[in-house]
Structures are given as structure tokens and as C-alpha cells.
Amino acid sequence: MKKSALATLVLAALVSAPSAFAYEAGDIIVRAGLTSVSPNDDSSNVNVDALGGNVGMGVEVDSNTQLGLNLVYMLDSNWGLEVLAATPFTHDVTLIDTADNGLGLGDGKLAEVTHLPPTVSAVYFFDTNSAFTPYVGVGVNYTIFFDEEFTGAREDQTFTDLDLDNSFGLAAQVGFDFQVDDNWSINASARYIKIDTTAEFTVADVKGSVDVDIDPYVFTISAGYKF
């Protein structure tokens, strides 16, 4: 009888005790690792005013990987506020579909652009009572473009004055933390960010532009520490 009562008390204590890995209000999680931006880009045709607008070319943007930084402040055991930052991403921009327009510009690398995509999100961590904690999040992104430069070969073709508009858009993500111990964790996440921009430029002293929906998938793997 005593053994049965003791077993019942132990079981009740285990059920009511918080998980050693559970997050609590006021916890701060700092993560660092690799973040890859993979554009899911779709561009309009390049427009050059003096040639009647659409000149039948488009652009593509390649992927880039940088150091990703992440901070989460827990509002309670489930909800947190997250800030995503990174070292600057630099992307090659390629000119495509030039063969049939008669301008003789040629497909190939057009320019390099650099950007920072700070993102603030509300995240929800699911209760699992285990070391594996999945979460979802939604937030807003503001992408800042800078150091836009045409290649030397394109400058020889009289391309100059490249400028990309900054972008404001929504972001959504899924991810998980795997707790190694009370403080350290491994994190992986995938997010989609709405990034739209208009690139303006000059070619042969004539203004041109192209709208680009970059809309990247952003993948991160990192190590985290809970304070």
C-alpha cells in the first residue's frame, strides 16, 4: 500500500513538473549560424523609355549564404518575439532572354547588388514536453539594397546609375529547436519573405527600369543559447 501511494506521488510530481527544456517568460535565446537566401525571382521585362518600353529581356538573381544572427525574447512559455539579422548578402544579377531583341547585349552577368533583410516576427512554440520544440512564425521584413554595381563589361555597354528600391513585405516561417541541454540548442528554420523591388538604371544615357519579385526562401541552421 505504501509503495502504491509513493508511486502515485512520484507520478504526479513528474506530470506536474515543468520540462527542463521548456521556455519561460523572460527567456532570451541568441542564435548564430548559416543563413542562405535563395531567390524565387520573377522579373518583368526590362523597359527602356527611348526604345518604346519593353525590350524583351529579363533578369535573374542568384543565391547567397552568410552569417545569420537571431534573437528571441519569450513573452510566455509559447509566444516569443524574434529578430532576424545577418551579415550583408551579395547577389549576382544576370541578364536573360536577350537573343531576339536585336540590341546585341548578350545573356550573362549584369550586376552585383548587396542587401540586408532585417525581419521581426511573432513566433509560437508548441508544447512537446521533449527536447524537440517545433514553432511557426509570421512577421514583417524591410530589405535595404546598397552597393549596386554593374560589371565592367556592362559599363562598357554604357550601363550606369543602377539603383534598387528598398522593400517592405510579409514573412512566414517554420522551424524547430532541439535542446542539447538546459541552455544550448540546435535550430533549423525555413521562411518565405516577400521582397519586391524596382531597379532603375541608365543605358546609353537613356533611363530604363525592371520590376523584380525576389520573394526568397531563406534557410537557416544555427546553434542557440538560452539566457
pLDDT digits (tens, 9 = 90+) for 47-100: 665 555 556 677 888 999 999 999 999 999 999 999 999 999 999 988 876 556
Confidence band, pLDDT 50/70/90 cuts, at residue 226: very high
Nearest CA-CA partner of 216 in 176, 175, 167: 167
Considering 45-54, 97-106, 132-141, the range whose residues carry the highest mean pLDDT is 132-141
Confidence band, pLDDT 50/70/90 cuts, at residue 11: very low
Taking all residues of the chain, what is their mean pLDDT, rounded to a whole number? 85
**Span 95-120, mean pLDDT?**
78
- Fold designation for 2-226: Porin (2.40.160)
| Cβ partners under 8 Å of residue 91, min gap 6 | 37, 39, 61, 62, 63, 64, 112, 113, 114, 115
CA angle 171, 172, 174 (to 5 degrees): 145
The radius of gyration of the chain's CA atoms, rounded to the nearest angstrom, is 24
| Set of cell numbers at residue 8 | 502515485
The H-or-E segment that residue 153 falls in is: helix 152-156
Q: Quote the percentage of the chain above a pLDDT of 70.
A: 80
Bridge partner residues of 207 (DSSP) = 202
pTM as predicted: 0.81
CA pair distance 164, 144, nearest whole angstrom: 9
The H-or-E segment that residue 10 falls in is: helix 2-16
CA pair distance 146, 142, nearest whole angstrom: 13
CA pair distance 57, 80, nearest whole angstrom: 44
The H-or-E segment that residue 11 falls in is: helix 2-16
Confidence band, pLDDT 50/70/90 cuts, at residue 16: very low
CA pair distance 79, 81, nearest whole angstrom: 7
